[in-house]
């Protein structure tokens, strides 16, 4: 599996390619955990991928380092958007699309209940 660089994400798998932030290799334990996570993803998007991101077992014990890395490299927040530019690709992240839709729905519901 090819590993390429993108500053717009911590890591992301698109087809057979894994994109990682070029500074990620400076954090070997986090790098290893993230590569393991990305390799577990399927080549398209399935319920397995959704569960993988929801539980995120591979990053257990690395969460603090992961968020610190994101804060140190704020462009990686672009990778949380449902649509982001990663390498030469425009990547759609169905998991984030679902999370964002649910968040918007819950906020709307909360406001409607409050009014």
Quick one: which of 41, 49, 54 has its CA closest to 15? 41
Nearer to Zn ion, 5 or 59 (CB): 59
Nearer to Zn ion, 51 or 109 (CB): 51
Residue 53 engages Zn ion in binding (rule: CB under 5 A): yes
From the list 46-54, 66-74, 84-92, 98-106, the region that binds Zn ion by CB under 5 A is 46-54
Dump strand ranges (E) for the chain. 2-5, 11-14, 17-20, 83-86, 89-92
Cα distance between the two ends of the chain:
52
Residue 23 engages Zn ion in binding (rule: CB under 5 A): no
- Residue 13's Cβ-side half-sphere holds a number of Cα atoms within 13 Å equal to 20
Nearer to Zn ion, 48 or 108 (CB): 48
Residues near Zn ion (CB under 5 A), total: 1
Interaction site with Zn ion (CB under 5 A): 53
């Amino acid at each position: 599996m090819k590993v390429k660089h993108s500053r717009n994400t911590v890591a992301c798998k698109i087809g057979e390619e894994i994109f990682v932030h070029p500074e990620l290799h400076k954090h070997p334990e986090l790098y290893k955990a993230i590569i393991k996570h990305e390799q577990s993803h399927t080549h398209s998007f399935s319920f397995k991928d959704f569960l993988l991101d929801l539980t995120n077992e591979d990053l257990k014990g690395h969460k603090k380092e992961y968020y610190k890395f994101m804060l140190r490299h704020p462009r990686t927040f672009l990778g949380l958007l449902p649509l982001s530019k990663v390498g030469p690709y425009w990547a759609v992240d169905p998991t984030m699309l679902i999370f964002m839709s649910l968040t918007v729905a819950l906020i709307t519901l909360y406001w409607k209940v409050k009014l």
